[in-house]
Amino acid sequence: MAIQLRIKGTSTLSLTDITNIASMNIMLGGAAINVPVVDGSVELTFRGSVSTIRNNVTALNRLITEVKQRQIDPSVQKVYLEGDNGGGWYRSELKDIYIDAGSNYFDQIERGASPVTLRFTRVNYWENAIETAIPISNLNGTNLTSGLNVYNANDLVGTSPNRRCNYFDIAAGVIGGDLPAPLNLSITNVHASLNLYRTLIGLNSTNPTTATWKWEAEAIRTVAASTISNAAASAGAYAGGTMSPTGGGYKVPIMEFTLTSAQVTAFSGQFVRLMARAFNGVNLYTVTHKYQVEIKISDYPVWQSEWWTRPVGGSYSWLDFGVVRMPPSLAGLPSLGEVKITIYGDTLVAASWGIDDLILLPIDGYQYFNHATPAGYSLVVDNVDENYYVSGASATNLKPVFSWIGKPLLLTPAKATRLYLLTQWGITGADITGVVSVEATYRERKATL
């Protein structure tokens, strides 16, 4: 099958319909994958009656204008060069385009006497012209495309489709193509009443099925802490205690846990974001509190954070202790030794604290969104076009998220991926009953047609 080409913006113009426009010497361009754009060209011969030729020239000139307008005005629709080389239509966004011809350009075209050269600059990849649903799985369903429940806790309490797990999986072999492709998500608030205010997404493609990312605080060794039973806590309990003033920034350990050799090796040197979920209603963060994290190997300190004082986007229930490579050295080697993690606290005023979960959130990809999504509405994470907004059930009255952090999440072809969601419900709460329904899509990407 001969390659088919067309330009698609607000209208579509075939470059290979033979009857009206013939293409020769097609050069689509190519470069190393880290080069953002490439140049190409194609020779066009316009055919048919004078009126047909003039109409097609006008259509082409309008598309050329749209390409140029798009570069300065994002409200103008993107224009794509689309090609089908026997595997379906794929598209590559045009960044510049012009007709290279002599002074007798119009005479050439109208007489069909000789071809003119269309030169263009496009992005350095081809993506499927059709967005494809991704089957996703967790303990609440297998290979679902119509919505999968994901909770704000991972104590695994309950039964499918309402079992409390805070992740979902994309199986190996699902993502096609040969280039990483952006992931699009629709995250619908299906809680009975609470608004969804903040969403953190961590992506794990290094070792998604065996890396241990979550610890129940009350189940690991604690320092000067008690186990406090409460049905509203993950796994029915949390670790709590009283933080006393030290009078000058002394390191007072409040939590300590050990990653086994197998657990450390599973992380394989990927970066993680160390998160603590406060028990709902207990402040981990106030203006008087501060925390520090220390990592030891063979009882020797190898990494130490700054004193952390900031919550996640104003949420008192999620405290962000910072980003660290796990382990801090020897990335990717097998049989790594165990690692001890200690959390220290200090305060100016005596206060109680309560930690429900400790999470080493893998961030092979990471995004954080600050938004307000009522029950029945969806947070739309469009990483293909980099648009992030809240949408109602009727997809009207779109509202942008307040702020976001992170680059578009990328899926690696033929590789299994796990994604974790940490969410805030109401003004400050990290409610374990918070639940969303997730749908995922993508456009397969490849280097060449």
Query: Token pair of 397, please?
Result: 């009255």
Tell me which DSSP letter residue 398 carries. Answer: -
pLDDT attached to residue 48: 82
Cα-Cα-Cα-Cα dihedral of 297, 300, 302, 307, to 10°?
110
* Residue reference for tokens 């919550």: 311
CA-to-CA distance for 331 and 268, rounded, in angstroms?
6
pLDDT in tens, 269-281: 899 999 988 886 6
Average pLDDT of the chain is: 88
pLDDT at 318: 83
Q: pLDDT digit string (tens) for 342-379?
A: 988 887 777 777 889 999 999 999 999 999 899 999 99
The verdict on pTM exceeding 0.95 is no
Confidence of residue 334 (pLDDT cuts 50, 70, 90): confident
| Least confident window among 193-202, 388-397, 420-429 | 388-397
Rounded to whole angstroms, the Cα distance separating 233 from 355 reads: 10
Burial 205-226 (b: 16+ CB within 10 A, else e): bbbbeebebbbbbbeeebeebe
Q: How confident is the model at residue 220 (pLDDT cuts 50, 70, 90)?
A: confident
60 vs 329 pLDDT, higher one: 60
Q: What is the dihedral of CA 131, 137, 142, 146, to 10 degrees?
A: -40
With 0-12 / 13-18 / 19 or more C-beta atoms within 10 angstroms meaning exposed / middle / buried, residue 173 is: exposed
Q: Beta partners for 417?
A: 170
Q: What burial letters (b/e) apply to 252-267, b meaning 16+ CB within 10 Å? A: bebbbbebeeebbbbb
Question: Which residues lie closer than 8 Å to 352 by C-beta, 6 or more apart?
Answer: 240, 241, 242, 243, 282
pLDDT tens-digit profile of 289-307? Answer: 778 899 998 888 888 888 8
Beta strands in 73-193 (DSSP E): 80-84, 89-100, 116-123, 126-128, 132-133, 136-138, 141-144, 148-151, 167-170, 181-189
Q: What distance in Å separates the CA atoms of residue 388 and residue 402, rounded to the nearest whole number?
A: 9
Give the HSE-up count for residue 269: Cα atoms under 13 Å, Cβ half-sphere: 8
- Residue length of the chain: 449
Q: Is residue 449's pLDDT more than 80?
A: yes
pLDDT, tens digit, 9 for 90 and up, residues 30-76: 888 889 999 999 999 888 888 888 898 899 999 999 999 999 999 99
Residue 112 scores a pLDDT above 80? no
Instruction: Please report where in the chains the tokens 């993502």 appear, as a residue.
Output: 175
Q: Which of 209, 121, 185 is nearest to 410 (CA)?
A: 185
Quick one: residue 64, left, alpha or beta (phi over 0 = left, psi -120 to 50 = alpha)? alpha
Nearest by Cα to 122 from 253, 28, 197 = 28
